[in-house]
Chains A and B, each alone.
Chain A
Amino acid sequence: MIADKPEVTVESALIFEKSVPGRRGVLPPKAPEVDLGALLGAENLRPEPPRLPEVDELTLVRHYTNLSRRQIGIDVTFYPLGSCTMKYNPKVHEAAVQLFADLHPYQDPSTAQGALRLMYELQRDLGEITGMDAVTLQPAAGAHGELTGIMVIRAYHASRGEAEQRRVVLVPDSAHGSNPATASMAGYQVKEIPSGPDGEVNLEALQAELGPHVAAIMLTNPNTLGLFERRILEIAKAAHAVGAQLYYDGANLNAVMGMARPGDMGFDVVHLNLHKTFTVPHGGGGPGSGPVGVKAHLAPFLPVPQVVRQGEGYALEYDRPQSIGQVKSFFGNFGALVRSYAYIKMLGAEGIKKSAALSVLNANYLKELLKGEGFRIPYDRTCMHEFVAQPPEGIRTLDVAKGLLEMGYHPPTVYFPLIVKEALMVEPTETESKETLEAFARVMGEVIRKDKEWLEGAPYTTPVRRLDEVQANRRPKLRWGE
């Protein structure tokens, strides 16, 4: 089959193209001879088995091992993807998860006391780090946490008879796309607030939109330009004055983890991305975990179950009549919770603060280095954990990104935030060394000094070169063999 497709190298053949009828991989325990038709009803059986690959175990191992060699991650190279917090994921966390792999969500809680205690302590520790009174661990990702948080806010307004009146959620134009998507998924109208010339929320524009029709303001702080919103206390005051709730998008918490608490800033709700700030590996796009913390007045509305103390032990509490219900089956992405629990226990207060501070130092240091290499910094002041740069006039950000790939680096986030043209959003994180930052800055400089033709053709030696996106959109081919 591979020979029929000379353009496909052996390394990139699909697992289906390596399949040979009758070949077996892992053999399960012997199945008895049974009359399935009699047990399950002949009319319920499928006439043909699914066409899954038939490969031996070594072929399987080589296939996925070779695929992994066509993939880069943090363990391979520097990965300064803005707003994604690609910090080192400690190996001890993977060992920790194995200790809790064999628990079933429906086993008797008396036989899961260690797991429940871990969740209870994590609820408490995340509450302490964010300055919130109660935390749910149930949401499976950041956007899922956002949805949960907005549902909690709606339930709160409804409990005060204000659900019909409050139909609008305010979101700055620099916000992550998930914020407006969440608000509209939860049935709200979204109103964008323009940023001011300093890159921060324009307080006057915000105040003009505030009123008794507003359910919530969703903010990221530091914002997506990597700048701390200096007027945050006034923003909170203005929101609360009209009865709106202030929502904290925790995607950028790494900068201020332990250094400034969203609860102290005046936020009512916060979601966290454990896969960003608290070192759960991103896994190529998940699974993550998106716990939500709230102030006391919102606690009755959190999803069920909550992990509570009961006598000497811990229990799952379902009897919460004002709860929004469940946003996921069971108790959340427990494996992610184990990793973040381990991280917080290892760092302690001192390590958490130090990590945040060094993420800020690394970002500012890299910003200075890139400036020295000729990059433009549209909002040039002390940044937090990330900053936004632009290549010199005439050079496209896309080409810089592709040039970086050729040089063995993962590029920064590109073309975001939307309010900066040709944006490169750079987040180095605290786990990178001074030498790594310096080497990266030198390569960034080299890339923008390459000739135009080289840049526009890059990358050259990656497993594939630039791909035809238009073809994929017009005639998507979404599975093999059709």
Chain B
Amino acid sequence: MDYTPHTPQDLQAMLERVGARSLLELFEDVPAEIRDPELRLDPPLSEAELMRHLRELAAQNGSAVASFLGGGIRSHYVPAVVPALAARAEFLTAYTPYQPEASQGLLQAIFEYQTMISELTGLPVANASMYDGSSALAEGVLLALRESGRMKVALSQGVHPEYRRVVQTYADAVGAEVVTLPLVEGKTVPRLPEGVGAVVGQNPNFLGTVENLAPLAEAAHAAGAQFVAVVDPVSLAVLKAPGAYGADVAVGEGQPLGNAMAYGGPHFGFMAVRAELVRQLPGRLVSETTDADGKRGYILTLQAREQYIRRAKAKSNITTNAQLTALMGAVYLAALGPQGLREVAVRSVATAHALAERLAAIPGVKMVTPAPFFNEFVLELPKPAEEVRRALAERGIHAASPVPAEYGPKAHGPARPEGNLTHLALFACTEQHTEADLERLEAALREVLA
């Protein structure tokens, strides 16, 4: 089925008005040899048939609700009020708010979102959203390079490895050099290369360790570079805001704020900067202003940074961002408030520590993440992580995603020749986990490792 309302009578009347005998005649500008080709697609389905087919596909997936998987995407609870409000058709089916008189709903919601991100990060200016955490970081790095006028990036090894790969791809495109700062004992070594323009750290880092990034920020500034912090939004309920330890730019992944895991997207990325960098920001910004009657209103601003005005001289090519998923983030933050977000963070931390204690007591299992850690941690297992993840999944538990080999002994402590790199696995906890969940995982892991 399709969604066109035309009756045969409509068709005939409309073709007549435009002076064509058939629909195909409207395509006469297309060279005949490529016009109207055969398309090999499956036969069309009705809505009922489609939903049945999709349910069959969905049945081949295992739900990761209350899973112990992490890496910035986690099974935090999404309150019912979040999708209920974000799914309002007026938000869902609007375009970018280029016509502010008819878009005050979204514009005000974005203004409020910018304020919330500014509060979390401790930086005065946040943009309207980026695609996700990884691309927000890549754009943050490009911003830092523009500001410093240099072409070298130093990335802490504590930054999510997928994020680092994305930065590498973007850096390759502009010909910037990327250097990795190693993690030793869970902390970034702040030894910076000559001529560095952007320095990046992550807190909590990929191993889960809460890193004091102030020394790295200081080193960056001493070297004349901008400091970019990658942060987890839930952690900012209790951890120091990046603005407080010298970050010029803060970015992160918004999924934990009221967005379903959705196999990795769509979520949203957030970005905040110190005031002096506002004209370097990529993406949309909403400002308060007044209308012709002096009434308060909101409007897209500083658009001279953007591609549809500046074309080749724009700060970024970003156009579509992640407005609806960022709106979900804002609704989530308002639904929980400062106390609720703190409770989510505290319970996630406490549960992760309880789980780490249980699992590290299993024979052959070693804690890799140095203290202090937040709600994710890495264990070294006596069996390959991929095998363990599979075996746990067969028991209905999602946990132990493999951690890249680079996080072996050198990254987490003194060299241990016996350490087998492919045996590193990541675990995460959220406020959803109960004591019974932890028991179940422990029992399953003991069984799998026995």
Contact = CB atoms under 8 A, between A and B. Distances in A.
B101 interface: yes
Interface string A169-181: 0000000111011
B372 A25 contact: no
A137 to B, nearest CB: 10
A379 to B, nearest CB: 12
Interface residues of A, number: 199
Interface string A267-302: 000000101000001111111110000000000000
A118 B47 CA distance: 17
Contacts of A467: 100-101, 289-292, 297-299
Contacts of A39: 349-350, 353, 372
A178 B287 contact: no
Interface in B107-131: 108-109, 111-112, 114-116, 118-120, 122, 124-126, 128-129, 131
Contacts of B122: 46
Contact of B265 (A60, A63, A264, A287): A287
A171 to B, nearest CB: 8
Contacts of B119: 50-52
Given A25-B334, A331-B263, A261 B37 contact: yes
A128 B288 contact: no
Interface string A428-468: 00111110000000000000000000000101001111111
Choose among B65, B173, B293 the residue with the greatest number of A CB atoms under 10 Å from its CB: B173
Nearest to B279: A476
B335 interface: yes
A329 B112 CA distance: 27
Interface stretch (A107-115, A203-211, A238-246): A107-115
A288 B320 contact: yes
A112 B347 contact: no
A65 interface: yes
Contacts of A477: 287-289
Interface stretch (B23-31, B188-196, B407-415, B439-447): B23-31
A99 B349 CA distance: 30
Interface in B81-105: 81, 84-85, 87-97, 99-105
A174 to B, nearest CB: 12
Contact of B47 (A31, A346, A384): A346
B338 interface: yes
Choose among B18, B85, B393, B432 the residue with the greatest number of A CB atoms under 10 Å from its CB: B18
A3 interface: no
A225 to B, nearest CB: 12
A230 B174 contact: no
Contacts of B34: 233, 260-261, 264-265
A221 B115 CA distance: 41
B321 A286 contact: yes
Given A12-B108, A44-B240, A51-B119, A286 B320 contact: yes
A471 interface: yes
B416 interface: no
A309 to B, nearest CB: 15
Contacts of A332: 264-265
A36 B87 CA distance: 36
Interface in A72-111: 72-76, 79, 81, 84, 86-90, 92, 94-97, 99-108, 110-111
Contact of A50 (B105, B120, B260, B390): B120
Given A50-B237, A71-B94, 16 more contacts: A14-B112, A29-B431, A53-B116, A70-B104, A100-B61, A106-B70, A111-B62, A114-B58, A125-B41, A150-B173, A282-B320, A329-B132, A331-B264, A346-B1, A365-B17, A473-B302
27 contacts: A15-B334, A25-B335, A29-B432, A39-B349, A46-B244, A50-B236, A52-B333, A55-B337, A63-B334, A64-B109, A71-B103, A73-B90, A89-B92, A104-B261, A140-B135, A185-B316, A287-B267, A287-B321, A329-B134, A330-B162, A342-B54, A349-B39, A361-B26, A457-B292, A463-B104, A466-B291, A477-B289
Listed from nearest, the 3 A-B pairs whose CB atoms lie closest are: A330-B264, A71-B105, A283-B324
